[in-house]
Amino acid sequence: QVQLEESGGDSVQAGGSLKLSCAASGYTYRTRCTAWFRQIQGKEREGVAAAYLGGGSRYYAESVKDRFTVREDSVNNILYLQMNDLKPDDTGMYYCAAYSGGGACWNSRGLRDSTFTDWGQGTQVTVSS
């Protein structure tokens, strides 16, 4: 089982930036990718960004493209989410997740939270106008 711990959530004003971190341990040979999801109040959990381990492909939701960047520190097993030009609509709980299995991490319809096998506890991001 992969253990994940998020940090970096905070309260910022619109237009500001935050960098979230996800420290991972317990990767196995089956662990293929890690991802960021967010839960906005009143909405379904949304897949925001994802990366195949080892510098592979990246995925970004349309709502965050050109504003968010996912980066992997493969030496220390940390996944970062750099969030720029934050908007009040970005407010929510952000979760890190990992997928260990033989299938694809995402498809043309995006990220599905049911794909991911391990989850962190989340870190809160609040953006005020």
91 with 22: CB under 8 angstroms? no
> Which pLDDT score, from 0 to 100, does residue 103 have?
85
119 with 95: CB under 8 angstroms? yes
pLDDT tens-place string over residues 17-49:
999 999 999 888 788 899 999 999 889 999 999
> Which pLDDT score, from 0 to 100, does residue 109 have?
87
pLDDT tens-place string over residues 75-127:
999 999 999 999 999 999 999 999 998 888 998 888 998 899 999 999 999 99
| 54 — pLDDT class (breaks 50, 70, 90) | confident
DSSP lists the bridge partners of residue 4 as: 24
Closest CA to 98 of 78, 117, 79, 74: 117
